[in-house]
A = this chain, B = another copy of it.
Amino acid sequence: MQSEKEFLSEYRLDKYERPSVTADIVALMIRSTQSDNYRLNSDNKLSVLLIKRGGHPFKDHWALPGGFMVPGETVEECALRETKEETNVSPVSIMPVGVFSKPGRDPRGWIISNAFVSIISEESVDQKGQDDAADAQWFDVEFEQNENGDYSLQLGCGDVRLNALLEKNEEKFGRTSFTVKDSGGLAFDHAEIIAAALSMLRNDAKNFDVVFDFLPEKFTLSALQRVQETIMNISILPANFRRKISAYVIETDEYTQGAGHRPAKLYKRK
């Protein structure tokens, strides 16, 4: 009879074929665009971080940051490490989106991807800059259902336009999965991953858990409202938003200044 110790000393994991495992990250930010009217508050756009692939496969195509797991780290640590290495952006927290393991999804062979979503405040990106990652760019995101029921995912950055088309699969446990009909030039199955991440984000922005992560520590209630409206692609009356959010925030005694209209009190997350 073999003891557990004996068993383990003889056990060889490499007897069997193993997949390579990657972590890919859907890093999202809300970018504010200044208007020419000094009175207007800034407009907001949801952006996703993509990198232009320098090597095969999908050379010169845009892809999510990510890479292979190495021994001794968790999938989450891998996602953070690769994002930092490839884009010089350091997300503070990430949340799992799902596993993507369809055979053939990567032409290099048997590679499965664990996808994560991460939310980043514009403030923290501005501070760090992106000097040493010229091939990493923030793309404006639009994601909506069109007339015939399919979903269109439109990514834009300067002159670059990527238009992917997806079909909605079943909805399980509040998570929706998609099938790519047209990748729009995105590498691998990354259109599918981005769609799953956005769908999850919208579903969960209702609890306000997510919205705070897009903003610095102190923020105005209207900035917070614009974040939620941008994520969920809806419009909320300010009075009603304030009532709902009041349970989740604490007021400070600071105010905004020089906005061309009444100053707003700054709040912190409760």
Once the chains bind, are A171 and B209 in contact (CB under 8 Å)? yes
Question: Chain B nearest CB: distance from A31 CB in Å?
Answer: 22
Given A21-B21, A98-B96, A175-B95, A103-B57 contact (CB < 8 Å)? no
- Give the oligomeric copy count: 2
Write out the residue numbers on chain B whose beta carbons fall within 8 Å of the beta carbon of A149.
Answer: none
Q: Give the residue name and chain of the B residue nearest to A72 (CB).
A: B103
How far is B17's CA from A108's CA once the two chains are assembled, in angstroms? 15
How far is B171's CA from A207's CA once the two chains are assembled, in angstroms? 12
Excluding A4-B59, A96-B98, 18 further A-B contacts by CB distance (< 8 Å) are A4-B57, A4-B107, A7-B56, A8-B56, A11-B56, A11-B108, A11-B109, A13-B108, A13-B111, A16-B70, A74-B103, A76-B101, A95-B172, A99-B99, A99-B114, A174-B174, A174-B204, A174-B209
The 4 closest A-B pairs by CB, nearest first: A7-B56, A18-B18, A75-B101, A74-B101
